[in-house]
Amino acid sequence: MKLLKQIFIFGGTVSLIFLLSCEEETVTVTEEVIVTDTVTVTETDTVTVIDTITVIDTDTVLIGFAVPETYLFTRDGDTTVSYSGQTIRLKMAKEMVNALKDNTTTIAQLLAMFDHQEGGSDFSDADLNASSKQVKNKIGNNGTATNAAAIRADLETWMTNQVDSVFPAWTDEASKGLAGYIQEAGGGSTRYVNQNGLENNQAVNKALIGALVADQVLNGYLTPAKLNSGTNEADQAAQTKVDGKSYTNMEHYWDEGYGYIYGLAADGIDPVTTPGSNDIFMLKYIGKVDSDPDFAETADELHRAFREGRAAVVEAEFEARDAAAQHIAKTASLVIGVRAAHYLKSGQIGLAATTPDMAGVFHDLSEGFGFVYSLQFTLNPETGAPYFSREEVMEMLSKIYPTSGGMRGFWDVTQSDLEEAATTIATAFGFTYENA
């Protein structure tokens, strides 16, 4: 492995050279490199990584391949990046989630959005209707068939509960055991919850961050199994393009992974520094985590790993590619872990108030519920397994959303159960309850 994982706090000159240079394999840096501090970090410390660079010594920087500043890759003057199918699926999922907030939506309409068939008039956007893409067939297809069926059923159960229980109670005040509306304090937002205080739309929205986005990226497109499938490695080495396309198969797979996260960014080429995005899934929460000083640089780090990996693919540097993919897995998983713990903690703090704002608590916990659900789709690169298995996730959900023995979900959850779950999550990812 050529990447020596080290952190340097170094001058702007060097970083500029690093970013702009490199047509060739070895680059000699002529300017003096001023290294003010050197810290060796282990893989588990990447949360605090300030910068990562491939270094042999302070005079010569060996970069196996060029890493551009933005997600801009070309061949013979044509862009080689394409992820329109991912953008379409994200738009479909977003329309589906939004339809859950419209009490005139029928279950048939929702299910048709979920397993859209080409030409079906399921969406408001004609491009989506004309597309052959579908959300449902991308759910759970990286795991066992049993789990895939169970995950799809979970999503459909929440959608059905929304239509059958919440929509008819749209103008009723929610209370323990009864669905309805409940308003946040101070004339705040009105939330629509089921009989147990859960906002089904939030459960579906946040579960899709794992079930659709993280799973497709981490357990699908960026895995060596997927990237190396068929004759991809040889094709890449020979720069053999897909018939009629500017890209190779492996490049396209990597970009499809990229598209699940950045497909709704205002500028997919430079989504970190360009503000604006229509995303309601992973990208939105990368931004939220990044704005927490405890997890600063998360957005930049993740995007750089995507660029490094993509550049490595171009150069057929597969070890570097897989190192970048592992970095992505770790960072994207962390985003889910941080938000899961964050919302459970917010709910706990809300419940601690003398006059709890239950609508606010339910909203936080409903988001937390979806993020906890998404934990089963994370990938710990050190173990090759998710940070929490499906069984562990379901067990945790039964604690934070207890519905057995007459318990009424978020109406009955205790502060200690929330704190315990949030702490368990934080510990698994190497942060603390306080950081959440």
Partner 1 sequence: MRSFLLKWPLLIKNKMKNNLLTLCCFTTLSISALFLSCSEDDNVRLDEGSLINQNDFTDDQIDGDTSDSVDTTANDAGVGEAFTRGAMLVNWADKIIIPAFESLVKNMDSLSLAANEFTDTPNQENLINLKQSWLNAYLAWQTVDMFDIGMAEEITLRNFINVYPLDAQGMTTTLLAGNYDLTSINRQDEQGFSALDYLLHGLGNTDEEIIAFYTDETNGGKYKTFLTDVVDRMHSLTSIVLADWKESYRDEFIERDGNAATESVNSMVNDYIYYYEKFLRAGKVGIPAGVFSNSSLSNRVEARYRGGVSKELLIKALNSVQDFFNGVHFSQEDSGMSLKGWINYLEASGSTNNLDSLINNQFELIHLQLENLNLDLAQQVEIDNIKMLETYDILQKNVVFMKVDMLQLLDITVDYVDADGD
Query: Would you tell me which residues interact with partner 1 (CB under 8 A)?
Result: 173, 181-187, 288, 354-355, 357-359
What does DSSP assign to residue 251?
H
Amino acid at 349: I
Tokens of 199: 């906002």
CB of 82 to partner 1, least distance (A): 30
Output phi, psi for 163, to 5 deg. Answer: -75, -40
Nearer to partner 1, 317 or 367 (CB): 367
Nearer to partner 1, 181 or 433 (CB): 181
Nearer to partner 1, 354 or 404 (CB): 354
Strand, coil or helix: 385: strand
CB of 166 to partner 1, least distance (A): 16
Give one word for 409, left, alpha or beta, with left for phi > 0 and alpha for psi -120 to 50: left
CB of 189 to partner 1, least distance (A): 9
Instruction: Tell me if 260 sits within 8 A of 254, measured CB to CB.
Output: no
Nearer to partner 1, 343 or 387 (CB): 343
CB of 138 to partner 1, least distance (A): 24
CB of 190 to partner 1, least distance (A): 8
Tokens of 387: 């940070």
Distances (CA, A) of 33 to 8, 16, 52, 308: 10, 12, 15, 22
Distances (CA, A) of 120 to 86, 91, 109, 132, 189: 19, 15, 11, 10, 34
Nearer to partner 1, 81 or 174 (CB): 174
Output phi, psi for 76, to 5 deg. Answer: 50, 40
CB of 293 to partner 1, least distance (A): 11
Nearer to partner 1, 3 or 418 (CB): 418
Output phi, psi for 118, to 5 deg. Answer: -50, 130
Residue with tokens 């067939």: 137
Instruction: Tell me if 191 sits within 8 A of 359, measured CB to CB.
Output: yes
Nearer to partner 1, 342 or 390 (CB): 342
Instruction: Tell me if 322 sits within 8 A of 224, measured CB to CB.
Output: yes
CB of 198 to partner 1, least distance (A): 17
The contacts of residue 302 (CB under 8 Å, 6+ apart) are 261, 286, 328, 331, 332, 335
What does DSSP assign to residue 184?
P
Euclidean distance between CA atoms 157 and 132, whole angstroms: 25
CB of 188 to partner 1, least distance (A): 8
CB of 355 to partner 1, least distance (A): 5
DSSP result, 71-113: S--EETTEE----HHHHHHHHHHHHHHHHTT-TT--HHHHHHH
Euclidean distance between CA atoms 109 and 129, whole angstroms: 13
CB of 430 to partner 1, least distance (A): 22
Euclidean distance between CA atoms 170 and 364, whole angstroms: 20
Euclidean distance between CA atoms 422 and 120, whole angstroms: 42
Nearer to partner 1, 306 or 362 (CB): 362
Nearer to partner 1, 78 or 173 (CB): 173
Euclidean distance between CA atoms 67 and 312, whole angstroms: 8
Euclidean distance between CA atoms 222 and 86, whole angstroms: 14
CB of 339 to partner 1, least distance (A): 10
Nearer to partner 1, 95 or 184 (CB): 184
Nearer to partner 1, 7 or 100 (CB): 100
